[in-house]
Amino acid sequence: MAYAVETATARRGFFVARTGISCLPGRVVSFRFMEWSLRTAEELVAALRAGAVTSVELTDEAIARIERDDEVINAICVPDFDRARAAARRADQARARGEERPLLGVPVTVKESYDIAGLPTTWGMPPHRDHVPAEDAVQVSRLKDAGAVVLGKTNVPLGLQDIQSFNEIYGTTTNPWDRGRTSGGSSGGSAAALASGFGALSIGSDIAGSLRTPAHFCGVYAHKPTLGLAATRGMVPPSEPALPADLDLAVVGPMARTACDLTLLLDVMAGPDPLTHGVAHRLALPPSRHQRLGEFRVLVLDEHPLIPTGAAVRAGVNRVAATLADGGAPVARHSPLLPDLTEAATLYMQLLISGSVARFPMESYEPPGADDRSLDAERLRALAFSHRDWLAANHRREVHRDAWRRLFTEFDAVVCPITPTPAFPHDHHPNPLERHIDIDGTEYPYFDQLVWAGVATMPGLPATAVPAGRSAEGLPVGVQLIGPMFEDRTPLRLAELLEQKMGGFRPPKQDRSRLGRAVSG
């Protein structure tokens, strides 16, 4: 696990000379326990190429960190350490033969909902605790083909249908910044793993902010790709076959500790399913519209007509807006081109709920009153949507998509919240409809906080979640950068530029004298 000082010094000098990256600026010490765990994937690839470290060493260190810290975080619900060590050995042997692949030897994690041959895929549902697929999901295959070392699977909520990550099989994932708060959902295990140094990258999924919300709550990065950009086969409930279906609203996407790493992983994930396109090929995404911060035309939103924005999140949005303005970017706060957010939220709830419950029998249904136009009422109506109802909602979605196309002729990106608050305390009330979200002292329906996620999800737009500082309590706060359809590289590039100006991920400091307690760092 530790190197001799002489070996570490020699390796570090070679690494810096070859890459220009100094892992330990200004001092020379041995590469001891945890030296690499919070480095970026980009840095790890450079270090591996330079011979400063081996994949076996990175993998052993990541496993040691998980074994030390995950008892209280509970991010890694299905470890796969023996196969990870074997994959790391193969990666080192491949590199010794001169092979180069985008993620060769880099330790990563995978959301539990992806099929990995030989590991359980349960979606947190007890009846499926023994379901073990025989084949990898297409995105797991792409990770492995790129040379990544899969450490294991990360925790999810029951059926992936919550803004928290807990279930009867694997328990509760806590937030590395505050164990009394949620890490988010449904990719909460992946976000907590990244913030804790359990692998350099992770893959998740998003239909209701499931990539973006955990990133926001845990202080890391995530990217919700354009709908249809990345193949989803094998990210399927355990009761269903892994077919190459085109999902509505739902996407799979990358999570990381830097914006550059998001792009690195998206390039591995992007592309159609080979079962439907004959061969596996990557989509040629257009480049970012701009390369310099001052060139981006940005619309900034911090208010939604259906739910207030908490002070901590509003401050995060304003920090990003100020950084953009200081960098010379034209920033607007209003635009007549913006689609109606109230109708957008209603359409989103109709499409989300009708699609989510379509496979389940309706035991009883009591429609809300005709005058009740709350989001709760819209969710209830969507439970009994007919195909005709869905087609009408889908038509309105196309009208909104057209409006977004017109907006993106005047703007390059939209900055807005991901949820109205930072991470909230664990709330495991068995009936989610009885839960509430506290926004600066006032309670609102629990699922109303999804309206910000729906701004990008309903029309299928790409959105990048980026850290935007911390709340007064020291909790991470993130915002999302929404871009034009299939122009994912535009919000990703803007995320990189903001990271350079504002800083990005900062790990929570751990109070080792009291195991499991996180303090602001």
Angle in degrees, CA 198, 467, 225, rounded to 5? 80
Question: Residue 478 — pLDDT band, cuts 50, 70, 90?
Answer: very high
- In DSSP notation, 495-513 reads HHHHHHHH----PPEEETT
Query: Which class does domain 40-275+502-512 fall in?
Result: alpha beta
Q: Where in the chain is the domain with CATH 3.90.1300.10?
A: 40-275+502-512, 298-357+368-458+470-490
Give the C-alpha separation, 283 to 286, whole Å: 9
Beta-strand runs (E) in 366-516: 413-417, 436-439, 442-445, 463-470, 476-482, 509-511
Closest by CA to 194, choosing from 211, 171, 207, is 211
Number of other residues whose CB lies within 10 A of the CB of residue 336 = 6
Segment 368-385 mean pLDDT: 86
pLDDT tens profile 401-446: 999 999 999 999 999 999 999 999 999 999 998 999 999 999 999 9
pLDDT tens profile 139-181: 999 999 999 999 999 999 999 999 999 999 999 999 999 999 9
SS3 category, 472 = coil
- Six-digit token pair at 364? 């009883």
| pLDDT for residue 4 is more than 70 | no
Give the C-alpha separation, 188 to 210, whole Å: 8
- Six-digit token pair at 208? 């209701």
- Catalytic residue positions, numbered: 111, 186, 210
Give the C-alpha separation, 483 to 223, whole Å: 11
Segment 434-462 mean pLDDT: 98
Segment 219-235 mean pLDDT: 98
User: Measured in whole angstroms, how far is the alpha carbon of residue 478 from the centre of its chain?
Assistant: 12
Count Cα neighbours of 450 within 13 Å in the Cβ-side half-sphere: 32
pLDDT tens profile 262-316: 999 999 999 999 998 876 566 789 999 999 999 999 999 999 999 999 999 999 9
CATH for 298-357+368-458+470-490 (3.20.20.70, 3.90.1300.10, 3.40.50.300, 3.30.930.10): 3.90.1300.10
* Average model confidence (pLDDT) across the chain: 91
SS3 category, 457 = helix
User: Measured in whole angstroms, how far is the alpha carbon of residue 160 from the centre of its chain?
Assistant: 14
Give the C-alpha separation, 37 to 48, whole Å: 14
Closest by CA to 144, choosing from 195, 94, 105, is 105
